[in-house]
Structure 1
Amino acid sequence: MTPSGTELRRTLGVRDAVVVGLGSMVGAGVFSALGPAARAAGTGLLPGLALAAVVAYCNAMSSARLAARHPASGGTYVFGRERLGPFWGYLAGWAFVVGKTASCAAMALTVGAYVWPGQAHTVAVAAVVALTAVNYGGVQKSAWLTRVIVAVVLAVLAAVVVVCLASGRANAGRLDVGLSSGAGGVLQAAGLLFFAFAGYARIATLGEEVRDPARTIPRAIPLALGIALVVYACVAVAVLGVLGADRLGHTAAPLADAVRAAGAPGLVPVVRAGAAVAALGSLLALILGVSRTTLAMARDGHLPGALAAVHPRFRVPHRAELAVGAVVAVLAATVDVRGAIGFSSFGVLAYYAVANASAWTLSPAPSARAVPVVGLLGCAVLAFALPTASVAVGAAVLAVGVAAYGVRLRARRRGE
């Protein structure tokens, strides 16, 4: 039970919730994830995208059902705690906060790399400070800004698709589906592409700020995921048709290279600007989601209690937001976190594994349990198909969290 006077304000409807989800998904991932995925899967890129979408759909439906039943800030941290027990909720929260904090820093550095490559770290820190200030002013302001960002990004992506497909340089033969890198390559590509789908969790973590959550959340999550899938599929087909799997797999800026190859070099600066705006949208929503999970964990004593404070005027977890912003700013200023994206994917998949296990407990009916089972198995397979270094680092960080939980539990028992 949330103490009286510390509840967050319910201001988000279906449209705003969908926009928050899209702002998290249709972000920097679509500008950067296609290259590494193509390098892993080769001609199996599109099957990898389809597999990532299936796992994301199962996770989305499990999250939607859980969020409607437990409409409180914290997402799977709350779901795991309520359905499976305190440890599983804590594990999900730990995986989310640590993994997504690294993602925040990566998105901030993406902004810097596109806006001012020579001063990427400085721009990244400035972006974190500015968006933390926006979130501090209230979730409704964040939703409004996200709506603008989503509109700009979708316009840029639409331009990329039209230019590539209408250029005459797109070759349908490059879309032939094959397994040039084997099933393992397709699975690894799916794990990397899943990173770009994971934003719908933001809708669930904002459950305490959504109007009529039992109706709004189950509608908003599938809508946001469906729109993102259509966008990703169109972009993947257009870029793959122009560049081919091999060339796509060896470019750091696939969309910019695609429009250049399509004979529209004048569009490259627009694509670069769109990538920067997309990264800002992802960063905004990520900081929003991480701060809400931090709030929920602080309420339960897993993080310092001061982080559970809610601003008396803006009704937002202001201390949690400032703490998350400070940590992300330090990372963005001092660390190259591009290598942490693989770890972030591992953490996110662990987070959703707990979500699916939690959804499995909602109903004993076999039909109701089919989606959580597929989602749980999919998360496990994709997590361990990631690069070995990502799996090793991810497992080690989760183990640190488990050890900390055990130490805290023993100390609490000794004090009773």
Structure 2
Amino acid sequence: MIDFDDSKAGHHALGLGGAWAMAVGGMIGGGIFSTLGVVIAVAGHWAWLSFLIGGAIAFCTGNSYAALTVELDEPGGSYSYLRSLNYVILARIAAWVLLIGYTLTVAVYAFTFGAYAANAFGIDAGWVPPFCAVAVIAILAGINLMGATEATIVELVAVWGKLVILLGLAGLGIWHWAPERLVLSHGHAVGFSGALIGTGVVFMAYEGFQLLAYDYHEMRDKERTISRAMPLAVVATMATYVLVALGAPMLAGAEQIVIHKEVALAEAGRDALGTFGFVAVTIAAVFSTASAINATVFATARLAAHAAGDNEMPRLFGLRNGQNVPWFGTVLIAVVAAFLAVIGGIDALVESASFVFLLVFALVNAIALRRKTGHHLLSTLGLIGSLAAAVMLVLYEFGIA
């Protein structure tokens, strides 16, 4: 899905619809399935606001990503921006931070895949979810090593399928309008500050739109496409998340969403439409997380190879197999992500990934302000919002907030 090889630049495969689908798929690929229960546990009935504020920060940051990519006329995201500005040391740090962040994201998606897959078969054995998580990473890493890529038409169909299922679930919950079910028990009272903390926790759900910057040379009318696709994708994703954060708890109850947070939406689907709802949401979750794992491993291995070619990462990351796939990066990312998926709980993985991407997004907004590119106000708000959410997340982790 994402490639740094400019030899393909003449193909111009991505139009506005395809680019929009790639960005939405990157965000919804595992975001809402992984984070809803975690965010509700922190923000309670303010979870919808956490998603709204997080979306606003992502929207502002998308402005900076698109403007910088168009101005520099180069794919590669924050790493390439820093290289182009001769901030070599910062570029090297950014490459490693991105590698860590995307590896954490793969671990979150794999953990979620394992939980939904085991839940689908009603298997409670403690080893089954981790086994499924490791298996899906191994299979998809193997597919990546064979040089497989996702077609735009497949991504479009997958994205619309997920949106239909998620929005249908949210619509049923809102139709039954029961705001009292959004509230956690009295022993878990949550104030408005919970929404601000939740913004930090939720942020990995918005990781994905920036991957369009890596595909810049693959777009038709690239300046216009990236400038429109990024904000449209963030708005569509934000609206979906807000509606699901309202509708799903109204079906299953906030307490049950938190209790079953690894498979929260499947349980909400069961409450909405019985077995059919359970199966539909489970299929959407399993397919989405698997797709997100594949795309993220694909992108991250190529980012590392690109940096290795610039001598900013070890040359091992630049090693390619007979299919021209950077095999060392692919294998390393898969192994580390599988290990994290086995030992890490969903809360820790989500919060760690969110923190990394908040820092990356703050950096991109700061670069846009330094370059005086894009909308100054949006970049300023994106910078302040990213840093504030990161601070709230740290305070929460240390028990201060």
Settle same-fold status: TM greater than 0.5. Answer: yes
Q: Which residue of 2 aligns with 1:274?
A: 284
SS of match in other structure, 1:12: coil
Change (3 A) 1:96 1:165: same
Rounded Cα–Cα distance in structure 1 between residues aligned with 2:204 and 2:250? 23
Give the C-alpha shift of residue 203 in structure 1: 1.1
- Residue among 302, 305, 315 paired with 1:305: 315
1:20-35 paired onto structure 2 within 5 Å: 20-35=22-37
- In the alignment, which residue of structure 1 is the partner of 2:186? none
8 Å Cα contact 1:251-1:257 kept in structure 2:
yes
**Cα displacement (A) at 1:317:** 4.6
How many Å apart are 1:27 and its aligned residue?
2.5
- The 8 Å contact of residues 55 and 235 in structure 2, kept in 1 or not, is answered as no
Aligned to 1:369: 376
Displacement of 1:254: 2.7
2:274 alignment partner in structure 1:
264
Query: Given the alignment of the two structures, is residue 147 of structure 1 paired with residue 169 of structure 2, yes or no?
Result: no
In structure 2, relative to structure 1, the CA distance for the partners of 1:268 and 1:300 (3 Å cut) is: same
Question: Which residue matches 1:354?
Answer: 363
Give the residue type in structure 1 aligned to 2:64.
Answer: S
Cα distance change on mapping 1:51 and 1:19 into 2, 3 Å: same
* Residue type of the alignment partner of 1:78: S
Residue 190 of structure 2 is matched in structure 1 by 181
Match of 1:51 in 2: 53
Of 163, 169, 173, the match for 2:172: 163
Compare 375-384 and 204-213 and name the one that shifted more.
Answer: 204-213
Note if 1:335 corresponds to 2:337. no
Alignment correspondent of 1:287: 297
Q: In structure 2, do the counterparts of structure 1 residues 171 and 58 end up closer, same or farther at CA, with 3 Å as the change threshold?
A: same
Equivalent residue in structure 2 for 1:95, among 94, 97, 100: 97
Pair 264,136 (structure 1): closer, same or farther in 2 beyond 3 Å:
same
Aligned 8 A contact 2:14 2:220 in 1: yes
Paired residue total? 380
User: Is 1:102–1:344's contact at 8 Å kept on the other side of the alignment?
Assistant: yes
Q: Which amino acid aligns with 1:9?
A: K
Q: Secondary structure at the match of 2:172?
A: helix
Relative distance call for 1:22 and 1:123 in structure 2 (3 A) is same
Contact 1:52 1:193 in 2 (8 A): yes
Aligned 8 A contact 1:105 1:337 in 2: no
The unaligned stretches of length 5 or more in structure 2 are: 184-188
Q: Secondary structure at the match of 2:150?
A: helix
Greater shift, 5-14 or 155-164, is seen at 5-14
String of CA shifts for 1:289-316, please: whole Å, max 9, x gaps: 32232123212212122433567866x6
Aligned equivalent of 1:221: 230
Q: Any stretches of 5+ residues in structure 1 without a counterpart?
A: 393-416
Q: Is the 8 A contact 1:83 1:358 kept in 2?
A: no
Deviation string, structure 1 residues 119-149 (Cα, Å, up to 9, x no partner)? 3333323322333344456575354543343
Residues 9 and 125 of structure 1: is their aligned pair in 2 closer, same or farther, counting only changes over 3 Å? farther
Match of 2:237, as an amino acid?
Answer: A
Q: Percent identity?
A: 26
Q: Distance in 2 between matches of 1:190 and 1:224?
A: 19
Deviation at 1:81, TM superposition (A): 2.8
Alignment match, 1:80: 82
Q: Say if 1:151 and 1:132 are closer, same or farther in 2 by CA, change over 3 A.
A: farther
Structure 1 residues 26 and 115: CA distance shift in structure 2, 3 A: same
Cα shift readout 1:184-226 (whole Å, capped 9, x = no counterpart): 3111111122211121011113334444432322122112112
Deviations 1:335-381, CA, capped at 9 Å, x for gaps = 335322211111111111111111112327xx832111111111111
Contact preservation (8 Å) 1:108, 1:124: yes
CA contact (8 A) 2:203 2:357 kept: no
Aligned residue in 2 for 1:235: 244
Alignment partners' CA distance in 2, 1:172 and 1:232: 17
Deviates more, 1:92-101 or 1:262-271: 262-271
Q: With structure 2 as the length reference, what TM-score do the two structures score?
A: 0.83
**How has the CA–CA distance of structure 1 residues 162 and 283 changed in structure 2, closer, same or farther, with 3 Å as cutoff?**
same
Query: Do residues 383 (structure 1) and 379 (structure 2) align?
Result: no
